[in-house]
Amino acid sequence: MQQSHAYNDTRLALTTRVLDAKARKDLSWQDLADDTGLSLAYVTAALLGQHPLPAAAAQTVGDKLELDAADVAALQIIPLRGSLSGVPTDPTIYRFYEMIQIYGTTLKALVHEQFGDGIISAINFKLDIKKVEDPEGGSRAVVTLDGKFLPLRPF
């Protein structure tokens, strides 16, 4: 039977154990996502406490991290989602917050103009990040947010 968390306490403790094992074993997020059949972004988010893993993927990750059976089972529980409250203080996360502060209304206006009244789903969603060389020097981060448009349905 599928289980669900009501609080973040136990999931935060599990995430700490995952991060400790990942560091101790010198594994990358990609190393952990390999052989799960899931995307890098999904597995990373799951291991950071934002998604449940299917049983086979949880076992694969658990084996790589040498987690016990209880932790492998806990990776399969639906978490209480949302890891941020208030304005983020981490500089990398803050820059995404800043992008939304500056371009959020632009994105909303363009979505509504092109699609109509509705939202872009974060449930039926894909995320990708790629490092590309900048022709002007250095590197650029290309972040793709790919969500299904869900129209408002009057009732």
pLDDT at residue number 91: 94
Catalytic site includes residue 121: yes
111 C-beta neighbours (distance < 10 Å), count: 16
Phi, psi of 123 (to 5 degrees): -90, -50
Question: Of the residues 4, 95, 113, 139, which is catalytic?
Answer: 95
Catalytic site includes residue 139: no
pTM of the entire predicted model:
0.84
Q: How far is the C-alpha of 35 from the C-alpha of 73, rounded, in Å?
A: 18
Question: Of the residues 98, 139, 140, 153, which is catalytic?
Answer: 98
Question: Of the residues 24, 28, 121, 140, which is catalytic?
Answer: 121
pLDDT at residue number 154: 83
pLDDT at residue number 2: 85
Question: In terms of Cα–Cα distance, which of 115, 117, 119 is closest to 154?
Answer: 117
Catalytic site includes residue 153: no
Q: How far is the C-alpha of 96 from the C-alpha of 141, rounded, in Å?
A: 12
Q: Which residue ranges of the chain lie beneath pLDDT 50?
A: none
The beta strands (E) that lie in the chain are given as: 118-133, 139-151
